[in-house]
């Protein structure tokens, strides 16, 4: 099994190191956080300096995983360019276009496919990491026209080894999607929390499940939320505009007719669709990893399909029948 | 212990009947739903026709609890006016001003204090009811200048007997508060679900905790959500306008400077405040139930205070120190 070198040992990077090790892959990590390094070593993991980690990655032809905040990615990629310029490379950063642009610029020879596991927690750091964090989760792995299929396959195999299911997509499609289902939810949670708090202790004393659920991720570390949302500016603006249009329409309907039928019904149908997609029957398609594979895999990703197994020359994709 | 007559045996009314019975109070109910009636009888509860239920309430000087949707309240109050016009009366409807107005109009002699338990579920009907639904929950009981203190005390005692803690407030303050912490969350959940679904199966396939939590209550029965939100139109418009202003400001900041610092920081602080209020130390104040009590109880309610015990002439109020 290909070795794994994880750069950044917070919640996500730490969980990758744990899960890859548990899957039997040789794995080591590096981090600029003395606390995370000490905690990871205390848990029995191999943590070294970044240059040593990357030289070993080059020597062992390892998969390098960039697991730092977006703001630290450029510096890390410069280190990779110095020590392992042809590495098998992926990342787990929550936006994909900006990372892909940096890789094209700094590491044109790297065998890169971007990644994003859709799992998290409102806690952070190695102490919050878990080898089970990705079990059953979606993990986007980007597949552009210029992506080498073997680079995608290696990044996807890591996701499978971590217990996740792979969603094949492009960086642009990924960024648009997560603006809607991850970044806008964080903006909404923050605004909902603030509007509630404007009601004072009386309002917060009356708050129950709908408010607690709707504001939960507002408790996430602000610097991480800002890095994630601000890093996906253009796609998030589109999602915010969609939300503003819908909220304005709801306001207009409530003010003029007193009714919220369209808003409530569309929300109900959308939530049902989410649940149907998650629970419906799936068909299985085997995609041969040839020149036609990237387009077919992306098409299946658009339909909600997830890669659940890989061989050297095939991908097994499960596609929800409700799509 | 005063007997309890529950009108409407869905999730909330059914849970009141169960909890009041479990507390040792004589209790019976009535419902227009044949399914709920049959299910409640099968569980061993006393379910009769509405006129019989109310005549018995008058004969036993019982506490009558209106637990129907807002749209059915007027018809129920007409029945109460016919059979038990001087009843001890409360309700568990999610808006308080409209119910209070109907009571003033139809039942000027009733000994009424409005109520609203802040507990629920996305399921409905007797089958979803539970005698533990209200354990530890907030339960608003309205106390206007014109409310008879003994009527408030009786309604509050029922809430305590159901395991809840009583938030003393006015109908108007309640309706403004729940617009922010219950009705706006339902509108936000619906809009978030729709914006996510606009991203198609790919986006929903990538959706994880933040989207699932933020859209959970969009799966509630649309007719109940509409009754609740549309029934609190004016207060909800204020909350929606607050949200629109904040979302527009976030949009402007993201578009112009690329930053979301104010939005994210204010949301984080608000969520922390919610958690602090829920977990901080509490001071205990004993309020004598005299002519000055209504104002003092409402003041403590504004500070997040909750009545946790009642005697004939005192209320014990716990007030969070973080307020």
Among B147, B169, B191, residue at a domain's last position = B169
Say if the Cβ atoms of A214 and B189 lie within 8 Å. yes
> Would you state the pLDDT for residue A193?
98
Helix B149-161 × helix B293-302 angle, to 10° = 40
Residues A128 and A204 reside in one and the same domain: no
Mean pLDDT of A27-55: 97
Give a yes or no: residue B271 inside a domain: no
Give a yes or no: residue A251 inside a domain: no
Structure tokens at B243: 């949200």
Say if the Cβ atoms of B247 and A191 lie within 8 Å. yes
> Hey, is B189 helix, strand or coil?
helix
Residues B57 and B184 reside in one and the same domain: no
Q: How far is CA B235 from the centre of its chain?
A: 15
Chain B contacts of A233, Cβ < 8 Å? 254, 258
Give a yes or no: residue B190 inside a domain: yes
Q: Is A311 exposed, middle or buried (0-12, 13-18, 19+ CB in 10 A)?
A: exposed
> Would you state the pLDDT for residue A323?
77
Say if the Cβ atoms of A191 and B277 lie within 8 Å. no
Q: Is a pLDDT exceeding 80 seen at residue A121?
A: no
Q: Is a pLDDT exceeding 80 seen at residue B121?
A: no
- What is the pLDDT confidence band of residue B41, given thresholds at 50, 70 and 90? very high
Mean pLDDT of A5-18: 97
Mean pLDDT of B99-107: 97
Nearest to A230 by CA among A86, A81, A94: A94
Torsion of CA B250, B252, B254, B259, to 10 degrees: -70
CA B13, CA B125: separation in Å to the nearest integer? 9
Of A191, A203, A273, the CB nearest to B263: A191
> Would you state the pLDDT for residue B273?
97
Say if the Cβ atoms of B201 and A275 lie within 8 Å. no
The total of other beta-carbon atoms located within 10 Å of residue B281's CB is 9
CATH number at residue A133: 3.40.50.720
Of A201, A225, A264, the CB nearest to B320: A201
- What is the pLDDT confidence band of residue B6, given thresholds at 50, 70 and 90? very high
Residues A20 and A162 reside in one and the same domain: yes
Q: What is the mean pLDDT of chain A?
A: 96
Helix (H) or strand (E) holding A321: none
Among A243, A272, A301, residue at a domain's last position = A243
Contact B185, A214 (CB under 8 A): yes
The total of other beta-carbon atoms located within 10 Å of residue B59's CB is 11
CA B107, CA A124: separation in Å to the nearest integer? 57
Residues B133 and B27 reside in one and the same domain: yes
Q: Is A146 exposed, middle or buried (0-12, 13-18, 19+ CB in 10 A)?
A: exposed
Give a yes or no: residue A8 inside a domain: yes
> Would you state the pLDDT for residue B323?
77
Query: Tell me, what DSSP letter sits at residue A124?
Result: -
Give a yes or no: residue B290 inside a domain: no
CA distance B61 to chain A (A): 30
Q: What ipTM did this prediction achieve?
A: 0.95
Enumerate residues 264 to 293 of chain A having a beta carbon within 8 A of any beta carbon in chain B: 264-275, 277
Residue B82's contacts (CB-CB under 8 Å, 6 or more residues apart) are B51, B54
Contact A141, A155 (CB under 8 A): yes
Residues A29 and A124 reside in one and the same domain: yes
Q: Is a pLDDT exceeding 80 seen at residue A169?
A: yes
Beta pairing, strands A88-91 & A63-66: parallel
Give a yes or no: residue B9 inside a domain: yes
From the CA atom positions of chain B, what is the Rg in Å? 21
pLDDT digits (tens, 9 = 90+) for B213-233: 999 999 999 998 999 999 999
Give a yes or no: residue A22 inside a domain: yes
pLDDT digits (tens, 9 = 90+) for B184-200: 999 999 999 999 999 99
Residues in a beta bridge with A168: A141
Mean pLDDT of A33-43: 97
Structure tokens at B148: 């008879």
> Would you state the pLDDT for residue B258?
94
Among B232, B259, B286, residue at a domain's last position = B259
How does B63-85 read in b/e, with b if 16+ C-beta sit within 10 Å? bbbbbbbbebbeebbebbbebbe
Residues B161 and B41 reside in one and the same domain: yes
Residues B187 and B164 reside in one and the same domain: no
Residues B117 and B242 reside in one and the same domain: no
Residues A11 and A114 reside in one and the same domain: yes
The half-sphere exposure of B323 on its side-chain side, counting CA atoms within 13 A, is: 22
CA distance B296 to chain A (A): 14
Domain that holds residue B101: 4-169
Residues in a beta bridge with B6: B29, B65
Torsion of CA A307, A6, A88, A224, to 10 degrees: 70
Q: Is a pLDDT exceeding 90 seen at residue A272?
A: yes
Helices of type H across chain B: 11-22, 34-42, 50-60, 73-83, 97-106, 149-161, 171-178, 184-197, 200-206, 209-215, 222-230, 233-256, 261-279, 293-302
pLDDT digits (tens, 9 = 90+) for A73-116: 999 999 999 999 999 999 999 999 999 999 999 999 999 999 99
Residues B160 and B225 reside in one and the same domain: no
Residues B213 and B163 reside in one and the same domain: no
Q: Is a pLDDT exceeding 90 seen at residue B267?
A: yes
CATH number at residue A203: 1.10.3660.10
Give a yes or no: residue A270 inside a domain: no
Residues B128 and B39 reside in one and the same domain: yes
Chain B contacts of A251, Cβ < 8 Å? 237, 240-241, 244
Percentage of residues in chain B having pLDDT higher than 70: 100
CA distance A49 to chain B (A): 33
Residue B110's contacts (CB-CB under 8 Å, 6 or more residues apart) are B80, B85, B86, B87, B88, B89, B103
Query: Tell me, what DSSP letter sits at residue B135?
Result: T
Mean pLDDT of B98-106: 96
Mean pLDDT of B257-270: 97
Chain B contacts of A184, Cβ < 8 Å? 192, 195-196
Q: Tokens 């509050």 belong to which residue?
A: B156
Q: How many domains does chain A have?
A: 2
Q: Is a pLDDT exceeding 90 seen at residue B151?
A: yes
Residue pairs between chains A and B whose CB atoms are closer than 8 Å: 365
Percentage of residues in chain A having pLDDT higher than 90: 95
């Amino acid at each position: 099994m290909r070795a794994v070198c994880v750069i950044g040992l917070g919640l996500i990077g730490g969980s990758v190191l744990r899960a890859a090790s548990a899957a039997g892959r040789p794995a080591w990590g590096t981090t600029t956080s003395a606390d995370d390094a000490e905690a990871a070593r205390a848990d029995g993991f191999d943590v070294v300096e970044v240059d040593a980690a990357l030289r070993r990655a080059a020597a062992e032809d390892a998969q390098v995983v960039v697991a730092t905040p977006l703001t630290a990615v450029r510096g890390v990629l410069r280190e990779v360019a110095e020590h392992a310029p042809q590495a098998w490379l992926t990342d787990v950063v929550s936006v994909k276009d900006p990372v892909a642009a940096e890789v094209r610029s700094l590491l044109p020879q790297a065998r890169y496919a971007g990644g994003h596991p859709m799992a998290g927690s409102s806690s952070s750091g190695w102490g919050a990491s878990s080898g089970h964090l990705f079990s059953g989760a979606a993990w986007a792995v980007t597949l552009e026209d210029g992506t080498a299929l073997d680079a995608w396959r290696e990044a996807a195999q890591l996701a499978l080894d971590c217990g996740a299911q792979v969603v094949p997509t492009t960086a642009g499609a990924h960024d648009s999607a997560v603006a809607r289902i991850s970044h806008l939810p964080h903006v909404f949670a923050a605004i909902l929390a603030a509007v509630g708090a404007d009601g004072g202790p009386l309002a917060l004393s009356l708050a129950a499940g709908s408010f607690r659920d709707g504001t939960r991720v507002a408790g996430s570390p602000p610097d991480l939320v800002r890095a994630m949302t601000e890093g996906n500016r253009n796609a998030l603006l589109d999602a915010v505009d969609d939300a503003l249009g819908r909220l304005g329409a709801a306001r207009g309907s409530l003010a003029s007719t007193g009714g919220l039928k369209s808003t409530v019904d569309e929300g109900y149908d959308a939530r049902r669709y989410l649940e149907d997609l998650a629970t419906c029957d799936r068909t299985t398609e085997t995609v041969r990893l040839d020149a036609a594979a990237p387009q077919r895999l992306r098409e299946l990703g658009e339909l909600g399909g997830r890669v659940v197994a890989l061989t050297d020359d095939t991908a097994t994709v499960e596609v929800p029948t409700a799509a």
